[in-house]
Each structure stands twice: as structure tokens, then as C-alpha cells.
Amino acid sequence: MKQLSWLALLTLLIVGHTAANADATGAILRCDPATVIKDIDGTWKSYYSAGHMAGFKECAIPLSAGSHKIEVCYDASIGTGAMFSLEAVCGSDRELTLEAQAGHTYRVKLDLKREWNAWIEDVTESEAGLSYDEPPKKPKPTGPKKDRETTLILRATPEFALLGLQKGVILGKWFTVGRFGGMGPINFSRKGVPDGYHVFKAYAGDTLAFTSGQMMTGSIVNGRGMSPCNDFPVRVYEDVPAGKVLYLGHLTFAEVPGGYTGRYSDELDEARAYIDSHYPELAGRLEAAPFREAPTANICYGEGRDLSVPR
């Protein structure tokens, strides 16, 4: 395996921040989470590992127009714990070919569920206009914390479900949490959450999304978790305001061979009736929260915990 020099690392970090779009004479190669680029055209002097989950860093590798051979591997060893049916690092590389066109953006895609596979897609149109610039740092909150509170309601069924939400930001196509995503499980109860309505607090300026879960059978916690990955778009609620009562929607889960499916829906009138009846202090205040959809940097890496869209 090639060693990564400090100079090469610095170069790649700069590329990742500044080469957001292809120019008129060249192309850009981007990477899915866990991608490792080991070589390009047999002459590359660098080594790029994209990482995943909280450690994911999008790549933006400039390519000249024309034919390229790209040696690809994966590294799923950071932050995953037990790997179930997947080795943490690939045992053999994949050589991909690309006929790059000037002005186009391409993405290395991975399928790690079984015998691993990699390919390259042209994402020039589907990812047009996305910004990978870091958002400006928010000023430190002032005033009493109580004044910055807002109440969030997320329904999840079956009612025996543990939900994990994290704070983060949308960068490019991804919802990323960084290394300090905060929050975590909400309203976990071995007796189930009444009618599936999770009621919890956030604070003005928070951006958050559902990033993990744990299903239960009655009061018994299943060993398998739920991880929204690959094609599963989570709802991202950005810069929530203070003093509101916000409805985040309804997440419905179902167990299927190889993992779980999940689906968002909205029953705002039903949620209002429930909240008005069971939380009189919040009566008449529930409103729908605006959101954007984005995939997470989680990877689908083993049977039994992947969360996908119902087919």
C-alpha cells in the first residue's frame, strides 16, 4: 500500500475544498463514503481515503479530458464497530475506466452489501449547483438557554423504536455530522413511546436529521440497528427557530430480508389533534417544519442494518 506523504495530504485537502466544479478544460472526480483511490493511470503519487460517517471528507480530484484508469478500493474500518458480513478493508482492488469529458463531474460509486463492486457515474447534471463550501461559523448564542428552546415532534412507528438524531450540516449532496454531532437517542422507552410521538427539545440555530435507530420486539431491543445509507434520503431541518412547536413528519419502519425499509409521510392534522389532546401546553401551536432531503455519509456495509426506501 502506498504511503501518504504530508505534501500529498496537504494537496488533497486543498483540492477537496477548492475544486468544487469542473472547468472548461478538465473534469472532476468525486467519491462516495469509504472510497479509496489508490492510483490513477499508473502515475499518481498520492493516496486518497474518503472515510465515512463522522470521518467522511468529500474528494474533488481534477482529471484531464480523455481516457483514465482508476484503481479503487474501500476502507470501512473507521467508526463502524462490528462489520457483520463485510471485511473492513477490501482484499482486492477494482480497476475502473473512464472517458472523461471536459466540464463534467464524475463520482466513484460503491456497493458494499455483498461481493463488493465499484463503478463511475456521470453526475454533472444530478449534482449541478451543489456547494461544498463550509458554512460560516455561527456566533455564540447569547441569552438564557430557555429562550432558545423549540419543541420538535417526530412520529415513528412501530412505537417500539429508538431514534437517533444528530446535529450537522448539508455539504454538497451529503448531510454530515462532523465529529461532534450532538443529540443522540430520543425518548427511548422499553414500554414504547405512546402512539409513536417523540416529543423533544432543540435550540435555535440547530440543524438536525435522523441518522440511526434501533428496533425492538416488544420490550426487547434487537441486536440489529438501523442505518440510513446509500439511497435513503433523510429529512434535514435547518436552523430551527426558537419558541416554535414543529412537526417533523412520520417515519414508518418495516423489517425486510437484509435490513429495514423506512418511509417518511405527513399527517399534520392527525398530529395536531394528538398533541392538542395529550399536551395541552402545546395546543394550537403545531406547524410543519421546512426541510431538505439529503443522504448521510453512512455506508451500507452488512446484512441486517441497512435502511432503504421501500420498493
Does 32 score more than 90 pLDDT?
Answer: yes
Per-residue model confidence (pLDDT) at position 190: 59
The C-alpha angle 163, 186, 188, rounded to 5 degrees, equals 80
Work out the pLDDT band at 267, boundaries 50, 70, 90.
Answer: very high
Structural domains of the chain sorted by starting position, each given as residue range(s) with its CATH number in brackets: 6-122 (2.60.40), 145-308 (no CATH)
Gap between the Cα atoms of 28 and 155, Å rounded: 41
Residues facing 162 on adjacent strands: 214
Q: How confident is the model at residue 105 (pLDDT cuts 50, 70, 90)?
A: very high
pLDDT bracket for residue 273 (50, 70, 90):
very high
Q: Is the pLDDT of residue 278 over 80?
A: yes
Query: Among residues 293, 303, 308, 310, which one has the least CA distance to residue 115?
Result: 303
Quick one: average pLDDT of 265-274? 97
How far are the Cα atoms of 4, 22, 33, 311 from residue 10, in angstroms, in the given order?
Answer: 10, 20, 20, 43
Give the whole-number percent of the chain exceeding pLDDT 90: 49
Long-range contacts formed by 81-90: CB under 8 A, 24+ apart: 83/301, 83/302, 84/301, 84/302, 84/303, 84/304, 84/305, 85/114, 85/302, 85/303, 86/112, 86/113, 86/116, 86/301, 86/302, 90/36, 90/116
What is the pairing mode between strands 306-308 and 220-228?
Answer: parallel
Q: Are strands 66-74 and 94-100 parallel, antiparallel or unpaired?
A: antiparallel
The chain-wide mean pLDDT, for the chain, equals 83
Most confident of 5-9, 54-58, 84-88, 127-131: 127-131
Q: Residue 106: pLDDT above 50? A: yes
**What's the confidence (pLDDT) of residue 65?**
96
pLDDT score for 10: 32
pLDDT at 223 over 70: no
> Is the separation of the CB atoms in 90 and 73 below 8 Å?
yes
- Residue 180: CB atoms within 10 Å: 9
Q: Give residue 207's identity as a one-letter amino acid code.
A: T
pLDDT of residue 21: 65
pLDDT of residue 219: 65
Query: Using an 8 Å Cβ cutoff, are 198 and 186 in contact?
Result: yes
Give the best-scoring range by mean pLDDT among 67-81, 228-242, 264-278, 292-306.
264-278
Q: Which of 141-145, 263-267, 289-293 has the lowest mean pLDDT?
A: 141-145
Partner residues linked to 221 by β-bridges: 216
- What b/e readout covers 194-226, taking b as 16+ CB neighbours within 10 angstroms? eebbbbeebbbbbbbbbbbbbbbeeeeebebbb
Distance of CA 111 to the CA centre of its chain: 16
pLDDT band at 19 (very low <50, low <70, confident <90, very high): very low
Place of cell 469542473: 22
Could you report the per-residue pLDDT of 177-197, keeping only the tens digit for each?
865 556 555 655 556 688 999
CB proximity list for 275: less than 8 A, separation 6 or greater: 153, 197, 199, 245, 282, 283, 286
Q: How far is CA 174 from CA 74, 168, 170, 213, in A?
A: 19, 10, 6, 19
